[in-house]
Structure 1
Amino acid sequence: MALLSVAVSAQDFASRFMAEHQADSNLTCVTISPKMMEEIMKSDAEKDKEVLDMISNLKSMQVLTSDVEGKKYFNAALKVVEKNSGRFESFLSFKDKSENCQIMVRKKKSTIVELVMLMHEKNHFAVVNFTGNMSPEFIAQIKRHFHLL
């Protein structure tokens, strides 16, 4: 039993959220594993140095989405954040009439090792969860890419 609790405590945000919603067919989860990250880095496709630099220290990326009941899932995701409040700190938030975005980070010492973006717009819900060692430049690129600042 102790081994199981250690394994659960090591899970990233997306895994924790999906564990609570595993029987929910409205959610789609796409995981890009460390092996796939390596393949992307080796790919002969057009290599954009900025993109390669961005992903070189990532371990994985998970994207969870739903096109129905976005507000319900967004609120459920916020509850997962609350349950793990000692693990994550708020990094950036944005809210207007139709959109809500929250970004949380988890750090080891001063290095960001996990970034979680929660997004809700109308009925749409999405989580983008990065794990790895993320630099301030990576965070700045994410903010630019998602037009957050």
Structure 2
Amino acid sequence: MYLWLKGLHLAAVLTWVGGLVLLGVTTTAIRPAAAAVLLPHEKRLAATVLRWDRRVTAPAMLAAWALGIGLASWGGWFGALWLSAKLPIVVGLSALHGVLSATLRRHVEQAGRAAPTWLRHAPLIAVVGVATIALLAVVKP
């Protein structure tokens, strides 16, 4: 049973991270500050990505959290140093997901509203965060 939970957790994490990077790249690509109005193809792209986010990425994030908590309980890892280091990164990635989703939604609703400049680094932040989590989870220092 443990291996099934681990496999499902990994699948959920990969799906979530893929969607998170997609949100980051899309938010960076659509720059409403550069134009007062989003072009029709930009609105379609943003709406499609937001629909994917609601239907796939957000549920995958919730599944990753639930399965991860289950795995940590099963393994008795609460209190382990590697998990204590991993959890703040996971919380940060969850927050990044919320910020990106809200920013992209605002881009569609209120064209011309500038996104925070640090969000242009969101895809890199996601990749570095996930790589760090993977190292912590595999090596368990």
Superposed pair shares fold, TM > 0.5: no
Higher relative contact order (CA 8 A, sep 6+): 2
| Higher relative helix content | 2
| Higher relative strand content | 1
